[in-house]
Amino acid sequence: MLLKILAALIVIAVVALSAYVRLAPTDVAAWHIPVATTDPATSGPCTDKITIVPKGARVSCLVPGTPAEVLNKLEATALTSARTIRLAGTPEEGRITWEARSFLMGYPDYVTAEAIAAPEGTRLDIFSRQRFGEGDMGVNAARLKDWLSHL
């Protein structure tokens, strides 16, 4: 009998956690933030410049085109990704934040991209990070590599 009660409590806890992860409101102001770093951005394949950081991955690189053109291309790629929506921003503003959810549990990751005009083209800074947990098992770096390969 005690084993059945324990099993039932575990099931209830998993269901409650799943519901919280999927239904917790998103504070857009907490995620749609500046992500550009002071690190110099260099030209060359952006996919080679992805770095793993706590709770996610980031990249800074130089790409051809205007900031709006770069963000429009990135937006087109992002929105073709499964379970991804735009949370805030526009290409004209120079910053966009998307929410991308995992398949099974619906864990949200937040991806913010900023594009700034530079003499060599456009400086693109992207920060992809998880909301819950400590380790993302490389999901955010893989997402950036996929999205950037389409630019």
The domains of the chain are located at 27-149
Counts for the chain of helices (H) and strands (E), in that order: 4, 6
Residue 98: its pLDDT value, please?
98
Report CA-CA distances (Å) from 99 to 86, 125, 127: 6, 17, 12
Is the pLDDT confidence value at 92 over 90?
A: yes
Residue 82: its pLDDT value, please?
95
Q: Give phi and psi for 101, each to the nearest 5.
A: -105, 145
How would residue 43 be classed by pLDDT, with cut points 50, 70 and 90?
Answer: confident
Is the pLDDT confidence value at 70 over 90?
A: yes
One of 3.30.1490.20, 1.10.260.40, 1.10.3720.10, 3.30.310.80 is the CATH number of 27-149, namely 3.30.310.80
Q: Helices (DSSP H) in the chain: which residue ranges? A: 2-23, 28-31, 67-80, 139-149
Residue 40: its pLDDT value, please?
86
The amino acid present at 95, given as its one-letter code, is R
Residues in CB range of 54: below 8 A, 6 or more apart: none
Q: Is the pTM of this model over 0.85?
A: yes
More confident residue, 92 or 16: 92
Residues in CB range of 78: below 8 A, 6 or more apart: 84, 86, 96, 98, 100, 111, 147
Is the pLDDT confidence value at 60 over 90?
A: yes
pLDDT tens for 96-135 read 999 999 888 888 999 999 999 999 899 999 999 999 888 8
More confident residue, 23 or 30: 30
- Rounded to the nearest integer, the mean pLDDT of the chain is 93
Determine how many CB atoms are found less than 10 A away from the CB of residue 140: 25
Q: What is the mean pLDDT of residues 15-32?
A: 86
For a pLDDT cut of 90, what percent of the chain falls above it? 70
Residue 24: its pLDDT value, please?
84
Is the pLDDT confidence value at 21 over 80?
A: no
Determine how many CB atoms are found less than 10 A away from the CB of residue 39: 11
